[in-house]
């Protein structure tokens, strides 16, 4: 498996770099445009979560991103060393809201749901005082 690593400051201004890298790698691997767009949304959600919840008050914090690829899949890992993410609590709330009025929606809570909906596989590891989200998209055989 091949890998490309990227490290960005934990600030929203740098998330575009993660998306640009993803676009280049996924295009080279010949993913369809729709899959690339789905992956860009998912990785943006993971990075936004790392920025918002991973490093409160630490302006020197960094986010590690890796793009691991094989002939048939691309795995994007987003890792931060901030406070532990309570995945088991969040995943229970990660669901569509079909019977909810727009005025009753709360801010946040849809990131995990979006990642799971847009990617083929999502694994969250919170061991060792860090949070790593690994999201995989498989290249469909034609």
| 91 pLDDT tier (thresholds 50, 70, 90) | very low
pTM: 0.82
CA distance 90 to 85: 9
What's 119's DSSP letter?
Answer: S
- 14-71 confidence digits (pLDDT tens): 999 999 999 999 999 999 999 999 999 999 999 998 988 877 667 789 999 999 999 8
- Cβ proximity of 40 and 142 under 8 Å: no
Give 40-80 as a DSSP string: HHHHHHHHHHIIIII-TT-TT-EEEEEEEE-SSEEEEEEEE
Q: What is the CATH number of domain 2-138?
A: 3.30.565.10
Q: Where are the beta strands (DSSP E) in 1-142?
A: 2-9, 62-69, 73-80, 121-125, 131-138
Domain residue ranges in the chain: 2-138
Closest CA to 75 of 128, 127, 13, 132: 132
Mention every residue, 6+ apart, whose C-beta is less than 8 A from residue 105: 97
| 140 pLDDT tier (thresholds 50, 70, 90) | confident
């Amino acid at each position: 498996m091949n890998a490309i690593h990227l490290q960005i400051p934990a600030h929203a201004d740098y998330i575009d770099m993660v998306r640009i890298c993803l676009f280049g790698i996924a295009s080279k691997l010949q993913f369809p445009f729709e899959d690339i767009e789905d992956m860009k949304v998912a990785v943006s959600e993971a990075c936004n979560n790392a920025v918002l919840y991973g490093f409160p008050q630490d302006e020197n914090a960094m986010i590690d991103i890796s793009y691991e690829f094989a002939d048939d899949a691309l795995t994007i890992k987003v890792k931060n060393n901030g406070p532990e993410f309570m995945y088991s609590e969040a995943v229970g709330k990660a669901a569509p809201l079909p019977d909810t009025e727009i005025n009753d929606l709360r801010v946040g809570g849809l990131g995990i749901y979006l990642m799971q909906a847009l990617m083929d596989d999502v694994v969250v590891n919170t061991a060792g005082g860090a949070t790593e989200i690994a999201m995989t998209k498989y290249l469909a055989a034609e």
